[in-house]
């Protein structure tokens, strides 16, 4: 009897965790503060933070900050991948 209740509890917890994780991924892919589309976040258009650092002459922490707070990138596999198009728009004042 106790085992069945534990199974129900664990199943519910797993479902809630999955829903939370799915919501977190969607939040990572939110749009930039400028008018853009998610096409900028297509896998083929993303670059690593180190590449963005060299391209835009900004420190890695600044690139990660833009990705995290301005929607200029996505986190995949625990690493930030940046959208050059979104960073360019952000650095040019959103235009």
Q: Residue 65: which domain range? A: 2-91
CA distance 56 to 62: 10
Is the per-residue pLDDT at 42 higher than 60?
yes
- Predicted pLDDT of residue 41: 80
- Predicted pLDDT of residue 17: 75
Total domains in the fold of the chain: 1
For the full predicted model, state whether its pTM sits above 0.85: no
The per-residue pLDDT for range 56-78, each reduced to its tens digit, is: 999 999 999 999 999 999 999 99
User: Of 70, 61, 65, 17, nearest to 41 (Cα)?
Assistant: 70
The per-residue pLDDT for range 11-40, each reduced to its tens digit, is: 787 777 777 776 665 554 444 444 445 577
């Amino acid at each position: 009897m106790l085992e069945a209740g534990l199974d129900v509890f664990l199943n519910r917890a797993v479902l809630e965790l999955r829903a939370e994780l799915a919501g977190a991924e969607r939040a990572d892919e939110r749009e930039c503060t400028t008018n853009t589309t998610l096409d900028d976040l297509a896998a083929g258009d993303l670059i690593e933070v180190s590449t963005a650092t060299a391209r835009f002459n900004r420190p890695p922490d600044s690139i990660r900050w833009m990705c995290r707070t301005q929607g200029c990138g996505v986190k995949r596999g625990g690493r930030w991948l940046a959208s050059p198009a979104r960073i360019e728009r952000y650095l040019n004042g959103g235009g």
